[in-house]
Structure 1
Amino acid sequence: MADTAAGRPELPALPVTFRPGHTRAVLLAAAVVLFVVLTTVAMLLDGLGPGERLSFVLTALILDGVLLMLARPKAVAEESGVTVVNLTRRRRLDWAEIVRVNLRAGDPWVFLDLSDGTSLPVLGIQPGIAKQRAVADARTLRALAEARSAGRPGA
């Protein structure tokens, strides 16, 4: 994303999805490998009955479910607002509800300060593996929030 002369990122065409791409790729690959390995081990071990083989496969499916849940976080910015998808919850926000987009040094992910006085974590933008990407995404989301809430009553 190119920066404008004012130092703000150029606004992308909406909708735009923010998600930790590297982390997601690692988690999805690990889920596939885990399932293949546990299923293969279950089929190759002599002396296991059908129930024991099935328990290996079910264990692989449960562990894959956890890995897929960890790969779920994202934030989707649209004309009308932002949808934040974290591990187990999804929350829809209007642009006017977002007061500030924060990513401070040491934060594990972006936080949205909301107009009701609460803060909402956005796990879809995390600086863990790809710090530069997370910083750029946070700046873009901040610019979108400022541009979309500017000029509205009470903004």
Structure 2
Amino acid sequence: MTDVVEVPIVADLPPHYAHANDAGADLRAAEAVELGPGERALIGTGVSIALPEGYAAFVVPRSGLAAKHGITVVNSPGTVDAGYRGEIKVTLLNTDRSERFAVAEGDRIAQLIVMPVTRAVFVPVAELPSSERGVAGFGSTGVSDAPRAPEADGRRTSSTPAV
């Protein structure tokens, strides 16, 4: 059974779970906006919530908008802290290079995921314990387990000279 938490809300268009097992509740636009190619806009939802202590909400893109129209949430996930009481707004970005995208009042523009959070106690140390990954950074695990020739995908490797 899924845990349920009561979240007080003030909203004309409250977030709504489309299906019983959905993790994200749809957030709707409280205003109409048109986004040109490459444009972004901060869009109000008319939703204010009071999360209980120990919880946070995260605003994430809707997969259908991203796949079909190139619409995403710029600061995804946007974090709503338990102490915040203002309107939840969504910064949408139109990544399409040629098509405009119109947002009508009432359109589903993002999802809100409510989760328990753990507070960390940051402990200063002289050095960190070792790990299998170590200090290897972004992209260090690659995209496939299959071996590739260094130039097969057009990416430079440590043995491929820079041009």
- Pick the TM interval, shorter chain: under 0.3
Structure with more of its chain in helix, by fraction: 1
TM normalised by structure 2 equals 0.24
